[in-house]
């Protein structure tokens, strides 16, 4: 049971981190929608918004799953990546980790080899997606904000 506890705890925190990041990206996209820009700055904002949407993905359907985590939720629904890469979004990572965590807790037995393989794959995918999120925050956002500053447009912020 210690193994189940350790794995589910790690998945819980990674799922929560992905959910928080997705929520922050949604807020950034709302900021973008309120900005008025023209020319190259407008194009940069649009490209940034599309990249944010592709990383964010679509939130899970309301009301599904335990704890309000929802089910499915693997597509982006916003003109983001096609279904083949829909698992590479923050919402999909949060949903998949939550589903695995809930399944392991509900089973109340030692995880099988297949379950451990699924957990490993989900955690590796989560690490890749969260690395993209960090790049988005530390490279892409500051670069866009520099363009906005030159154009006299308020910077975007991630709370």
Residue 130: per-residue pLDDT: 97
155 in a domain, yes or no?
A: no
- The torsion angles phi and psi of 62, rounded to 5 degrees, stand at -65, 140
d(CA 32, CA 34): 5
How many structural domains does the chain have? 1
- Which domain covers residue 17, as residue numbers? 2-150
Neighbour-count burial of 21, counting CB atoms closer than 10 A to its CB (0-12 exposed, 13-18 middle, 19+ buried): buried
Specify the pTM: 0.80
d(CA 64, CA 26): 21
156 in a domain, yes or no?
A: no
pLDDT in tens, the chain (159 residues): 788 888 999 999 999 999 999 999 999 999 999 998 889 999 999 999 999 999 999 988 765 444 433 333 333 333 433 333 578 999 999 999 999 999 888 877 888 899 899 999 999 999 999 999 999 999 999 999 999 999 999 999 997
Neighbour-count burial of 35, counting CB atoms closer than 10 A to its CB (0-12 exposed, 13-18 middle, 19+ buried): middle
122 in a domain, yes or no?
A: yes
């Amino acid at each position: 049971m210690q193994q189940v506890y350790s794995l589910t705890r790690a998945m819980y925190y990674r799922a929560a981190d992905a959910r928080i990041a997705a929520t922050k990206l949604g807020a950034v996209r709302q900021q973008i929608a309120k900005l008025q820009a023209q020319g190259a700055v407008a194009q940069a904002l649009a490209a940034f918004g599309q990249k944010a949407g592709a990383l964010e993905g679509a939130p899970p359907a309301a009301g599904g799953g335990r704890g309000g985590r929802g089910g499915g939720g693997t597509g982006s629904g916003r003109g983001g990546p096609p279904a083949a890469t829909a698992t590479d979004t923050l919402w999909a990572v949060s949903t998949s980790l939550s589903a695995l965590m809930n399944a392991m807790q509900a089973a109340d037995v030692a995880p099988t080899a297949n379950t451990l393989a699924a957990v490993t794959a989900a955690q590796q995918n989560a690490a890749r997606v969260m690395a993209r999120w960090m790049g988005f925050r530390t490279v892409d956002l500051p670069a866009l904000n520099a363009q906005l500053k030159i154009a006299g447009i308020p910077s975007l912020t991630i709370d």
